[in-house]
Amino acid sequence: MARGKKPTSSQDSAQVLLDALREQEQVHQKKLKRRRSDKKWERWTGWLRGAPGWVKAVLVVLAVALVALIADGIRREGGEMSARLELVSGTVSLRRGGTAGPIAPRPGETLGNKDVLITAAGSTATLVFPDGSAVQLEPNTTFEVRLLDFARGGRRDRSFMVRSGAVVARFSRYFGVAAGSQGTVCTPTAVAAVRGTAFRVMYDPQRRQTYLAVVEGQVRFRTAAAETQATVGQMSAATGYQVSGVNPLAPAARTRIGAQVQAVDRFQRPPDLLTQLEYGINGALDPVMQLIGLAPGGWSFNATSAARRAAALKAFTNIRTALEGFGSEERPAFVNPVTLEELRMDEPMRVATLDAFSGLVIESYQKIGNDDYLVRARARDRDRTLYEMGANIAPRVIKE
């Protein structure tokens, strides 16, 4: 009977008794559930208590080995977030984070997100990545590492910026082992998106001209206003946002670029068995590891797929706010996928918005009439989820 409650009738007394019985039954059911759980655990572990000592020793060794493989796999995943400066010729300088004072880097130096590498006249530098991909900087080039990202399962996301000069990029055949892996070599006005291929990108900041030459594979070449595909032996150019289409690559240029590619091909190598095993184990355990915040790219809950999808949705809110801020003015006809400059965001918001998207770029912006628009971009989660947003459409997932 509940303390302090005095029955006033036989009906009240019956209700109190019924409540007490229900409470006892709930306690009884909890005990039964606990016992069933204990029995299941005993069935799983009971055999171990009676097992020979050598069996227990083997299991302990296997458990220790599994933990070691997981830990070493996490170490390798961390290595995917950096590039190694393999070769330096002439005068090369490095600005950490793009803002620190220049230093003279040595071979073996590691570069990460936002680091800027600069080659002087007659100087070159070569960056190499864990999968054997490589980028060779030509003389008089300013090159930024924008994003080095990795998701369990082998999905890589890399983005670079050629601010001036030229680079030859070799994306290893082992770069895109997982569907959805993508690399982007950007200039301030254009994006060259690839998976496993070899090509050269040159940017002239005075004329705002981007040149693309492909010697292997296929490259998706786009600006805010146009898009084309360039394949082996083809070149394309963009002045501002206007793309010239594709044309045959001059034989001499193809030979010269091909020789540069061959020079860095020696860095290509298939993943060894240990790497494959560790990545396989961590990929299988990824759902559990995400729950405790062990995700590549930060080892915290902020780096998990759920957090990255939430960041992308927040970035879409930033874009909507910017577009609605035009008021009675016309919304922009085009939006630069690399810089979002037409949205007139303040710098912190612009950086935060791009940081939430795969490749640090938006997939597309389309103006529809005077009052509507359509924006597409990918989150940086494991699946590189594609979202779409309109003036009257909340961000939604697009099935591919």
Tell me: pLDDT of 214 over 50.
yes
Q: What is the pLDDT of residue 178?
A: 62
Tens of pLDDT, residue by residue over 22-81, are: 777 777 777 777 777 666 656 656 666 667 878 778 888 999 999 999 999 999 998 999
What gap in Å lies between CA 234 and CA 212, rounded to an integer? 8
Tell me: pLDDT of 11 over 90.
no
**Tokens 């790497």 found at:** 275
Helix 10-49 and helix 53-79: axis angle, to 10°?
A: 100
Give residue 393's identity as a one-letter amino acid code: I
364, 368, 371, 373: CA torsion to nearest 10? -20
Q: Which pLDDT band holds residue 8 (cuts at 50, 70, 90)? A: low
What gap in Å lies between CA 231 and CA 221, rounded to an integer? 10
What gap in Å lies between CA 223 and CA 98, rounded to an integer? 24
Contact at 8 Å (CB) between 192 and 307?
Answer: no
pLDDT > 70: what percent of the chain? 90
User: Which position has the higher pLDDT, 87 or 8?
Assistant: 87
What gap in Å lies between CA 4 and CA 241, rounded to an integer? 80
Contact at 8 Å (CB) between 336 and 386?
Answer: no
What gap in Å lies between CA 180 and CA 379, rounded to an integer? 12
What the block records as the tokens of 247 is: 């044309």
What gap in Å lies between CA 286 and CA 306, rounded to an integer? 13
| Alpha-carbon distance values, 307 to 276, 291, 380 (Å) | 27, 11, 9
Question: Which residues are within 8 A (CB) of 388 and not within 5 positions of it... i.e. 6 or more apart?
Answer: 374, 375, 376, 395, 396, 398
Give residue 353's identity as a one-letter amino acid code: T
Q: What is the pLDDT of residue 2?
A: 47
Q: For residue 81, give the nearest of 277, 298, 276, 265 by alpha carbon.
A: 298
Contact at 8 Å (CB) between 186 and 159?
Answer: yes
What gap in Å lies between CA 197 and CA 180, rounded to an integer? 15
Q: For residue 140, give the nearest of 204, 217, 193 by alpha carbon.
A: 204
Q: Which pLDDT band holds residue 1 (cuts at 50, 70, 90)? A: very low
Is 195 strand, coil or helix?
Answer: coil
Indicate the average pLDDT of the chain: 89
Distance of CA 182 to the CA centre of its chain: 9
Report the relative pairing of strands 141-151 and 116-119 from DSSP bridges: antiparallel
Report the relative pairing of strands 116-119 and 218-222 from DSSP bridges: unpaired
Q: For residue 175, give the nearest of 148, 142, 140 by alpha carbon.
A: 148
Tens of pLDDT, residue by residue over 115-150, are: 999 999 999 999 999 989 999 999 999 999 999 999
Q: What is the pLDDT of residue 394?
A: 95
Output the furthest CA–CA distance in the chain (Å, rounded).
105
Is 13 strand, coil or helix?
Answer: helix
Model pTM score: 0.83
Contact at 8 Å (CB) between 197 and 182?
Answer: no
Tell me: pLDDT of 183 over 80.
yes
